[in-house]
Amino acid sequence: MANSGTGGSYQSAEFGLREIRHALKTSKMQLFRYFNDLQQLEYVRQSGGYANRGFTYKICYWDDYSSMRERIKSSLNDQVQKLKSPSPLEKDLG
């Protein structure tokens, strides 16, 4: 991946479809389908290149995966704690 910014930030990285296809080991057709969806949803935009040599792209919307992961983890921990705590029926029988 080419990096257009200084400091090596992944958020400013530019890439081509060929790089993605090789990294994910997917077919060309499947990659085009997925990539077209990402462009229509405005997650990715074309940032340079030429039609005969291939275009370069840049991610223009980053989901906040770390906060989403924490919410999921918290929710799962709450569910586990509820399963571990004795139910009202068990308290009456015990």
Which residue ranges make up each domain of the chain?
Answer: 2-93
What tokens does 47 get?
Answer: 């940032």
pLDDT of residue 40: 92
> Residue 24 in contact with residue 34, Cβ under 8 Å?
no
- pTM value is 0.55
Task: Note the pLDDT of residue 70.
Answer: 87
The second-level CATH assignment, the architecture, of 2-93 is Orthogonal Bundle (1.10)
pLDDT under 70 in the chain at which residues?
1-10, 87-94
